């Protein structure tokens, strides 16, 4: 690799994706300079998922995670607030907290013993008086994550002090995110541990697929779906009725409506979950979300830009942590209605494991495709190839009575183009606002 010149890399990035033509260059997924710029711009500036509230319910509970490749600790404070800080000692840069999760009263660096409080504040320095005189505690505390947002059980963080509020960052995507989060007055609960595994592929393949790709399910998951559905119930006719939503902030979702809901739920997560979703939990969902979201939608997939994804009906939630241009670490777990019975929660947990976990039958098929793409991209000709991301070009609209925002057919790539538009905007312009000012959004705000 030659020297990194951000201006040159930005200039290249303007040509990598062409929204109007519906094309993307393969180098987007392998170029180490593009990857470095992604960390510096996209992950440095976007709102990133940190934890679910129920993963750190009590004072002192903490979780070690990542924002891009930066390690952070997110911790419940004594007053119930949540703080996050860079998981790095200010003395010589050692990783401060080396546990994945736990309960602590403070964090002591294993190298020379500097001690930090639950919020990352420096509270003790060994031999401080004879060795240093004094150390300015405030100046040498761990670097805080300056912006924290809590949204219906989810906790997000952002390094950019001037970033727009999280709900504005979500925009119309909140309507679709709530399908996962707001079915019950009790909210949601994260259950089981966090499954963590490595896939040798670029993070964007996973994030884009969850934003924008129902298409692959027709083929990549066909045999697995057919064998896990109730006998003889598989139908090729289910595919046509549904939408894909794209956001000017890069978020995306797709879903089917009506036909095949029980069969698909049964195939993905089992009959107990199908019964809960369509009977026991249905009234509350419809009351809170309306018929369109509470009853009709299924097989939904979604990404909140850049790397937080989930499947609402399977209730698997995951973060695609980038680990270089050719690798991700997936962190996945189940999120369930907090007031569901223990039996239903267990059915979600086991069904999620069977379908979308490291050993899950559908997850295996997705991962296999991403890995093979990345292997192909190691060749110089393969990484110098243009890919087609033009499905449904010019066919989206914004006037559906039930579903807000710009919508295409469920089998389109309108959300992929929205994802890459935001990706390219942040990559190529360090001063670009996190939320683009589009005429559509302006019209929406003017109407409010
Ligand atoms: S690196 Fe942490 S105390 Fe020295
Ligand atoms: Fe899939």
Q: Domain extents for the chain?
A: 48-149, 171-437
In the structure, which protein residues have their CB atom closer than 6 angstroms to any atom of ligand 1? Answer: 89, 91-92, 94, 109, 111-114
Residues 152 and 310: their CA atoms lie apart, in Å, by 15
Q: How confident is the model at residue 229 (pLDDT cuts 50, 70, 90)?
A: confident
Q: Is the pLDDT of residue 409 over 90?
A: yes
Q: Are 85 and 72 in contact (CB under 8 A)?
A: yes
Position 8 scores a pLDDT of 94
Position 1 scores a pLDDT of 47
Position 352 scores a pLDDT of 95
- 3-state secondary structure (DSSP) of residue 159: coil
Position 440 scores a pLDDT of 54
pLDDT digits (tens, 9 = 90+) for 63-87: 999 999 999 999 999 999 999 999 9
Q: Is the pLDDT of residue 444 over 60?
A: no
Q: Is the pLDDT of residue 40 over 60?
A: yes
Q: Report the pLDDT averaged over residues 144-168.
A: 98
Q: How far is the CA of 197 from the centre of ligand 1 (A)?
A: 29
Across 107-121, 251-265, 298-312, least confident range: 251-265
- 3-state secondary structure (DSSP) of residue 340: coil
Catalytic residue of the set 112, 283, 384, 429? 112
**Residue in the block written with tokens 């469920």:** 410
Q: Report the pLDDT averaged over residues 291-320.
A: 97
Please tell me the total number of residues recorded for the chain in this structure.
448
Catalytic residue of the set 216, 258, 400, 429? 216
Residues 382 and 386: their CA atoms lie apart, in Å, by 9
Q: How far is the CA of 203 from the centre of ligand 2 (A)?
A: 15
Position 379 scores a pLDDT of 97
Give the whole-number percent of the chain exceeding pLDDT 70: 96
Q: Which ligand lies nearest to the CA atom of residue 213 in the structure?
A: 2
Whose CA is closest to 39, among 4, 79, 73, 14?
Answer: 4
| Average pLDDT for the chain | 95
Domain 171-437 classified CATH 2.60.120.10? no
For the structural domain made of 48-149, what CATH number should be given? Answer: 2.102.10.10
Position 415 scores a pLDDT of 98
Q: Is the pLDDT of residue 145 over 80?
A: yes
Whose CA is closest to 354, among 363, 346, 345?
Answer: 363
Position 3 scores a pLDDT of 81
Q: How confident is the model at residue 447 (pLDDT cuts 50, 70, 90)?
A: low
The overall longest dimension of the chain from CA atoms, in Å, is 79
| Per-residue H/E/C for 204-244 | HHHHHHHHHCCHHHHCCCHHHHHHHCCCCCCCHHHHHCEEE
Q: Is the pLDDT of residue 219 over 50?
A: yes
- 3-state secondary structure (DSSP) of residue 69: coil
Q: Are 91 and 109 in contact (CB under 8 A)?
A: yes
Q: Report the pLDDT averaged over residues 6-18.
A: 95
């Amino acid at each position: 690799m030659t020297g990194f010149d951000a201006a040159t890399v930005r200039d290249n990035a303007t040509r990598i994706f062409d929204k109007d033509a519906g094309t993307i260059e393969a180098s987007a997924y392998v170029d180490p300079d593009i990857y470095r710029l992604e960390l510096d711009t996209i992950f440095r500036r976007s709102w990133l998922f940190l934890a679910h509230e129920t993963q750190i319910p009590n004072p002192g509970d903490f979780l070690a995670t990542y924002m891009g490749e930066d390690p952070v600790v997110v911790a419940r404070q004594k007053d119930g607030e949540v703080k996050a800080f860079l998981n790095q000692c200010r003395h010589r840069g050692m990783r401060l907290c080396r546990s994945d999760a736990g309960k602590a009263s403070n964090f002591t660096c294993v190298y020379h013993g500097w001690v930090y409080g639950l919020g990352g504040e420096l509270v003790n320095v060994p031999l401080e008086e004879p060795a240093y005189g004094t150390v300015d505690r405030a100046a040498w505390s761990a670097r805080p994550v300056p912006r924290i947002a809590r949204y219906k059980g989810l906790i997000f963080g952002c390094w950019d002090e001037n970033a727009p509020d999280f709900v504005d960052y979500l925009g119309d995507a909140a309507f679709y995110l709530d399908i996962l989060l707001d079915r019950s007055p009790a909210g949601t609960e994260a259950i089981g541990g966090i499954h963590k595994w490595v896939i040798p592929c670029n993070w964007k393949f996973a994030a884009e697929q969850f934003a924008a790709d129902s298409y692959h399910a027709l083929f990549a998951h066909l045999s697995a779906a057919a064998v896990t559905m109730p006998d003889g119930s598989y139908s090729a006719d289910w595919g046509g009725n549904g939408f894909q939503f794209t956001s000017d902030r890069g978020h995306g979702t797709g879903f089917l409506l009506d036909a095949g809901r029980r069969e698909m739920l049964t195939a993905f997560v089992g009959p107990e979950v199908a019964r809960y979703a369509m009977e026991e939990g249905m009234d509350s969902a419809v009351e809170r979300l309306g018929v369109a979201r509470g009853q009709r939608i299924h097989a939904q997939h979604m990404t909140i830009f850049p790397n937080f994804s989930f499947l609402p009906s399977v209730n698997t939630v995951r973060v695609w942590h980038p680990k270089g241009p050719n690798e991700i670490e997936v962190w996945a777990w189940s999120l369930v209605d907090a007031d569901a019975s223990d039996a239903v929660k267990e059915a979600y947990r086991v069904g999620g494991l069977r379908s979308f976990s490291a050993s899950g039958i559908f997850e295996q098929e997705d991962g296999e495709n991403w890995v093979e793409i990345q292997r192909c991209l190691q060749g110089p000709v393969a990484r110098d190839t243009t890919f087609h991301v033009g499905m449904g070009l010019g066919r989206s609209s914004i006037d559906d009575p039930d579903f807000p925002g710009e919508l295409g057919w469920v089998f389109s790539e309108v959300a992929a183009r929205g994802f890459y538009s935001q990706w390219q905007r942040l990559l190529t312009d360090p001063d670009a606002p996190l939320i683009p000012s589009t005429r559509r959004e302006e019209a929406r705000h003017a109407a409010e």
